[in-house]
């Protein structure tokens, strides 16, 4: 048994597992969507893929560290000039350093092609959100059925009747929605599908301004156009009020992108928009 071979092969195998799990997590939906729809790939949930990625990454780093230790003499030769003098900042080292710095700085400053890779991942996640649907609020699956009905303004007894009429059983309204869904071998989304608002933010049938709820899921991807269509929000008034506060925005830009430009969280910006809108009701 040779430690060098075992170390190299461990690093080799864990690298490919990390590579594959990275691709899975790159295209996987946001956590709120994955948990709501019981998203899986290869019978594994997003959380399980993340666990595999983390633990495999730790083993990979340990194997790589030991591999570097075993091959430190070879590494030292890479840091020598042609006349065999030891020098850290060789041409090869400088090129590798520049590539690494470019990746870090380019990602931080959102410069293409690094920003393009992030945008592509976001596009994958948004497409899956449209496919699988958004929960009505963050981690709705963790709410008890009783709590869910109170938040959504639903009658508990009528809700239970509708769920049972769809062929599902409800042992207790104090169970979490995900527990009831698991007992019925369905996702929380499937269990409550007839009771869940359309995740695509349909046009409101009312001409009156409607109150924007506090608990909305996926607020970062919303635009003022979405809020106008769903709640008849006065986008021009919202733009004017926020402009007076030094926050510049337009109707078509996502709340998340505006918030990033203003160095604030998407939820904080959404709360301001919601407050301005609801004050006019």
251, 228 Cβ separation under 8 angstroms = yes
Q: How far is CA 195 from CA 42, 136, 153, 155, in A?
A: 29, 10, 11, 11
Per residue in 5-21, pLDDT (tens digit) is 888 899 999 999 999 99
**Average pLDDT of the segment spanning 180-187:** 90
For residue 105, with 0-12 CB atoms within 10 Å meaning exposed, 13-18 middle and 19 or more buried, which class applies?
A: exposed
Residue (of 173, 131, 117, 182) closest to 148 by Cα position: 173
Q: Is the pLDDT of residue 200 over 60?
A: no
Per residue in 18-71, pLDDT (tens digit) is 999 999 999 998 888 888 888 889 989 999 999 999 999 999 999 999 988 888
Ranges 36-50, 77-91, 106-120, 140-154: which has the least confidence: 77-91
Predicted local confidence at residue 62, as pLDDT: 95
Q: Is the pLDDT of residue 232 over 90?
A: no
Q: Is the pLDDT of residue 151 over 70?
A: yes
- Percent of the chain beyond pLDDT 70? 90
Count of residues in the chain: 281
Domain boundaries, the chain: 3-132, 141-194, 219-279
Rg (CA), the chain: 25
Give the global pTM. Answer: 0.64
**Average pLDDT of the segment spanning 175-181:** 91
Predicted local confidence at residue 202, as pLDDT: 43
The number of beta carbons lying within 10 Å of the beta carbon of residue 92 is 10
Sign of torsion over alpha carbons 142, 145, 151, 152 = positive
What would the DSSP string read from start to end of the chain? Answer: --HHHHHHHHHHHHHHHHHHHHHHHHHSPPHHHHHHHT-EETTEEHHHHHHHHHHHHHHHHHHHHHHHHHTHHHHHHHTB-TT--B-SS-HHHHHHHHHHHHHHHHHHTT-TTHHHHHHHHHHHHHHHHHHH---SSTTGGGSBHHHHHHHHT--HHHHHHHHHHTT---S-TTSBHHHHHHHTTS-HHHHTGGGSPPTT-PPPS-SS--PPPS--TTGGG--HHHHHHHH---HHHHHHHHHHTT----SSS-HHHHHHHTTS-HHHHHHHHHHHHHHT-
């Amino acid at each position: 048994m040779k430690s060098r071979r075992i170390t190299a092969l461990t690093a080799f195998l864990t690298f490919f597992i990390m590579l594959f799990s990275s691709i899975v997590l790159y295209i996987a939906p946001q956590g709120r969507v994955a948990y709501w729809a019981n998203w899986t790939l290869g019978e594994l949930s997003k959380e399980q893929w993340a666990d595999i990625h983390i633990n495999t990454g730790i083993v990979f780093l340990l194997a790589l560290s030991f591999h570097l230790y075993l091959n430190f003499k070879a590494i030292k030769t890479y840091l020598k000039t042609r006349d065999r003098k030891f020098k850290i900042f060789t041409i090869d080292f400088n090129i590798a350093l520049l590539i690494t710095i470019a990746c870090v700085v380019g990602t931080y400053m959102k410069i293409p092609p690094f920003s393009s890779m992030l945008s592509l991942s976001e596009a994958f996640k948004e497409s899956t959100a449209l496919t699988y649907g958004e929960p009505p609020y963050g981690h709705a699956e963790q709410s008890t059925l009783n709590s869910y009905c109170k938040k959504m303004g639903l009658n508990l007894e009528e809700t239970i009747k509708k769920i049972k009429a769809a062929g599902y059983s409800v042992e207790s309204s104090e169970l979490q929605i995900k527990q009831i869904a698991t007992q019925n071998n369905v996702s929380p989304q499937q269990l409550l599908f007839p009771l869940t608002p359309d995740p695509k933010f349909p046009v409101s049938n009312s001409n009156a301004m409607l109150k924007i709820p506090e608990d909305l899921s996926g607020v970062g991807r919303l635009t003022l156009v979405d809020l106008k269509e769903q709640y008849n929000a006065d986008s021009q008034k919202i733009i004017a009020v926020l402009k007076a506060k030094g926050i510049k925005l337009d109707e078509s830009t996502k709340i998340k992108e505006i918030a990033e430009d203003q160095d604030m969280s998407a939820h904080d910006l959404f709360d301001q928009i919601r407050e301005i809108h609801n004050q006019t009701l």
